[in-house]
C-alpha cells in the first residue's frame, strides 16, 4: 500500500524490487505530473487508484489505501504492508528467519522494522540503534483500529494498538533511499514544517526542533552487497535506477503556492528560508536578524534540546516569538 505524488525519481526501483514478492501493489496517486502514473501502469501487479484532493491529508490517503487493499484481497488471508515509494525490502530479506515468521504469522500480528538509510556515497548506511516502525499487519479485518487517521504522520497500517502481538524484525532491514537525493530531503523538511504549521498551528520553535534532520545519534555502517538488488541476479540494478539529481519537486511548489494565504510576518518565523530554496523560486529573504539568530540557535542546539538550560531558554523564546 503505497502513496505516490511525483515519485518518478525512485518509483521504478521500488516497483522492480517490490514486484519480486508482493501479490498486489496498491498505489494511490495524488495527481502526479512527472510520469509516475505511466511508470506505475507499466507494472502488472500495480492497482492504481486516484487521490484527486490537491491538499495534504494523510488520514484520507491511508484510508483509501487500506480500503482498496481489503477490497482486492477480500476473502483471502492477507498481509498488509505499508511502504513508501523510497523504501524497499533488503534483497537478503527472503532468506531470513524473520521472513519465515512473517509468512507463518497469524491475523492480528504486527511487525516492526528498522530502516537502513543509504548514505549519499552509496557505500554506507545509517542505522538507528533503537527506532522501529510498524509497517506490516497480518490483517484481522477489523475496522476501525483508529491509529492511522491523523492528518500528519499517520500509521500506515490499521493495527490494533492495545493488542500484544507485536514483533520486531532484526534479521533484515528496509532500505530507505531518500538520502540518495538530498534535494528532496531538504524539500521534505521544509514541506513538513510548513504543513504542520498551517494545519496544526504548531509553533516555529517546536517545528524546527521536530524537523531538523541530524544523524549524530545513528550508527554509520558499511552497506553490505547482499542488501542490494543487482542486475546479474535480479535483472535490474537498484541504485542505478534512482535519480539522485532531480532538484525541484512538488513539495516546494506546494509550499510556495500557499505563501499568499499567510502574512509574511508569520511565514518568516519558519525555518525554511535556506538560500537554495529562495534561489530556485526567485524568493526574497524575508527574515529579520532576530529570525536568523533564532533559527541558527535552534539548529546548533538540537542535540542539546533536553538540557535543562536549553529547555528553559526554549520556553522563553516560545513565549516571545
Q: What total of structural domains would you count in the chain?
A: 2
Is 193 in the same domain as 313? yes
Per-residue pLDDT, averaged over 23-37, amounts to: 96
Is 213 domain-assigned?
yes
Asked if residue 311 lies in contact with residue 305, where contact means CB atoms within 8 angstroms, the answer is yes
The residue segments making up the domain with residue 281 are 182-218+244-320
CATH code at 29? 3.90.550.10
Is 71 in the same domain as 186? no
Is 116 in the same domain as 174? yes
Is 236 domain-assigned?
no
Per-residue pLDDT, averaged over 59-64, amounts to: 90
Is 227 domain-assigned?
no
Is 269 domain-assigned?
yes
Give the pLDDT band of residue 27 (cuts 50, 70, 90): very high
Is 148 in the same domain as 276? no
Is 266 in the same domain as 190? yes
Is 80's pLDDT higher than 90? Answer: yes
Is 186 in the same domain as 127? no
Is 224 domain-assigned?
no
> What local confidence, expressed as pLDDT, does residue 58 receive?
87
> What local confidence, expressed as pLDDT, does residue 303 receive?
82
CA distances to 49, 84, 140, 170, 227 from 94, in Å: 29, 19, 24, 13, 11
Asked if residue 3 lies in contact with residue 65, where contact means CB atoms within 8 angstroms, the answer is yes
Phi-psi category of residue 241: left, alpha or beta, with phi > 0 → left and psi -120 to 50 → alpha: alpha
> What local confidence, expressed as pLDDT, does residue 249 receive?
86
Residues 252, 187: Cα–Cα separation, whole Å: 6
Is 209 in the same domain as 93? no
Is 84's pLDDT higher than 80? Answer: yes
Reported as a single tens digit per residue, the pLDDT across 193-224 is 999 999 999 999 999 988 886 665 679 999 99
Is 39 in the same domain as 160? yes
Residues 292, 208: Cα–Cα separation, whole Å: 12
Residues 270, 190: Cα–Cα separation, whole Å: 9
Residue appearing with cell numbers 549524530 = 216
The mean predicted confidence, pLDDT, of the chain is 92
Of 146, 178, 210, which residue constitutes the final position of a domain? Answer: 178
Is 264's pLDDT higher than 90? Answer: yes
Is 29 in the same domain as 153? yes
pTM for the predicted model, two decimal places: 0.92
Is 142's pLDDT higher than 90? Answer: no
> What local confidence, expressed as pLDDT, does residue 146 receive?
67
Of 178, 193, 208, which residue constitutes the final position of a domain? Answer: 178
Is 232 domain-assigned?
no
> What local confidence, expressed as pLDDT, does residue 214 receive?
63
Of 178, 208, 228, which residue constitutes the final position of a domain? Answer: 178
Is 305 domain-assigned?
yes
Is 114 in the same domain as 248? no
Per-residue pLDDT, averaged over 12-40, amounts to: 97
Q: Which three cell numbers stand for residue 320?
A: 516571545
Encode 127-150 in three state secondary structure: ECCCCCEEEEEECCCCCCCCCCCC
Per-residue pLDDT, averaged over 40-54, amounts to: 96
Phi, psi of 136, rounded to the nearest 5 degrees: -140, 130
Q: What is residue 155's three-state secondary structure?
A: coil
Is 158 in the same domain as 26? yes
Asked if residue 213 lies in contact with residue 176, where contact means CB atoms within 8 angstroms, the answer is no
Is 257 domain-assigned?
yes
Q: What is residue 49's three-state secondary structure?
A: strand
Phi, psi of 117, rounded to the nearest 5 degrees: -90, 105
Is 131 in the same domain as 266? no
Q: What percent of the chain has pLDDT over 70?
A: 96
Asked if residue 269 lies in contact with residue 291, where contact means CB atoms within 8 angstroms, the answer is yes
Among the ranges given (55-64, 77-86, 266-275), the one the predictor scored with the smallest mean pLDDT: 55-64
Residue appearing with cell numbers 496544526 = 200
- Reply yes or no: is the peptide bond before residue 144 cis, omega within 30 of 0: yes
Is 256's pLDDT higher than 90? Answer: yes
Amino acid at each position: 500500500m503505497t502513496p505516490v505524488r511525483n515519485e518518478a525519481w525512485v518509483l521504478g526501483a521500488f516497483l522492480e524490487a517490490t514486484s519480486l514478492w508482493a501479490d498486489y501493489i496498491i498505489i494511490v496517486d495524488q495527481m502526479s505530473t512527472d510520469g509516475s502514473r505511466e511508470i506505475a501502469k507499466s507494472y502488472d501487479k500495480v492497482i492504481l487508484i486516484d487521490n484527486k484532493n490537491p491538499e495534504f491529508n494523510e488520514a484520507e490517503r491511508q484510508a483509501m489505501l487500506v480500503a482498496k487493499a481489503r477490497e482486492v484481497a477480500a476473502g483471502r488471508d492477507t498481509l498488509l504492508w505499508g511502504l513508501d515509494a523510497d523504501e524497499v525490502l533488503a534483497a537478503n530479506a527472503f532468506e531470513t528467519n524473520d521472513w519465515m515468521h512473517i509468512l507463518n504469522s497469524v491475523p492480528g500480528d504486527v511487525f516492526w522494522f528498522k530502516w537502513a538509510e543509504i548514505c549519499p556515497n552509496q557505500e554506507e548506511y545509517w542505522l538507528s540503534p533503537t527506532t522501529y516502525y510498524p509497517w506490516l499487519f497480518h490483517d484481522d479485518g477489523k475496522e476501525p483500529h483508529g491509529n492511522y487517521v491523523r492528518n500528519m504522520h499517520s500509521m500506515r497500517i490499521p493495527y490494533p494498538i492495545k493488542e500484544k502481538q507485536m514483533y520486531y524484525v532484526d534479521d533484515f532491514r528496509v532500505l530507505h533511499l531518500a538520502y540518495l537525493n538530498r534535494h528532496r530531503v531538504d524539500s521534505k523538511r521544509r514541506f513538513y514544517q510548513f504543513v504542520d504549521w498551517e494545519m496544526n498551528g504548531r509553533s516555529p520553535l517546536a517545528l524546527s526542533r521536530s524537523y531538523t534532520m541530524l544523524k549524530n545519534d545513528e550508527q554509520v555502517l558499511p552497506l553490505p552487497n547482499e542488501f542490494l538488488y543487482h542486475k546479474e541476479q535480479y535483472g535490474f540494478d537498484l541504485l542505478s535506477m534512482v535519480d539522485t539529481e532531480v532538484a525541484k519537486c512538488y513539495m516546494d511548489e506546494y509550499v510556495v503556492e500557499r505563501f499568499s494565504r499567510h502574512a509574511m510576518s508569520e511565514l518568516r518565523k519558519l525555518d525554511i528560508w535556506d538560500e537554495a530554496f529562495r534561489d530556485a523560486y526567485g524568493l526574497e529573504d524575508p527574515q529579520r536578524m532576530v529570525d536568523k539568530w533564532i533559527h541558527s540557535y535552534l539548529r546548533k542546539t538540537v542535540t542539546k534540546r533536553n538540557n535543562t538550560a536549553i529547555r528553559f531558554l526554549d520556553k522563553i523564546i516560545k513565549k516571545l516569538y
